[in-house]
Amino acid sequence: ATLRHGAGALVREAGVHRDMLAAGAAHGMNDAAKSMRYLGVLSGVSYVSGIDYFKTINQRVGSLIRREECERMPKNARLVMACVDCDTYVDLLEKGDTAGCSRYLMEDGVDRLVAAGAEVLVIASNTAHLVCDEVAVKHPQ
């Protein structure tokens, strides 16, 4: 999975852009929607950042696909999300256990997203970015 920063970068990396949609429209929007890569969002210390990313990503996808190109209703992003247990995560942070935080985020968050099919990852948390280097090594594609 590829790690990207920000909802806009995530949407672009997933292949959701006007050129792809225009080309896909000739074959039907279902084909274009199927060609979108699965996005993976690791929510932050609280669920709030996950909500923001979910909303922003789907609004962006919706703005790129014209209503008349959809059969019944606007398309959503192909998206999987994971949330870690905030209490466990904050406990590790407060103890200064960087290795424990990293292991916890990888095992309970990133690895679950990849196992669920995420091809592009975003970490919707400032503190959780401590695993970026590890993600790049463990999941380089």
Please tell me which residue, 18 or 78, carries the higher pLDDT value. Answer: 78
pLDDT score of 21 more than 80: no
Q: What structural domains and CATH numbers belong to the chain?
A: 2-128 (3.40.50.1860)
Q: Is pTM beyond 0.85 here? A: no
- What is the band of 114 on the pLDDT scale with cuts at 50, 70, 90? very high
Res 30 pLDDT > 80: no
* Terminal-residue alpha carbon distance, the chain: 5
36: left (phi over 0), alpha (psi -120 to 50) or beta: beta
Q: pLDDT tens-digit profile of 50-98?
A: 888 889 988 888 777 766 666 666 677 889 999 999 899 999 999 999 8
Indicate the residue type of 6: G
pLDDT average, residue stretch 18-34: 44
Residue 23 near residue 33, CB atoms below 8 Å: no
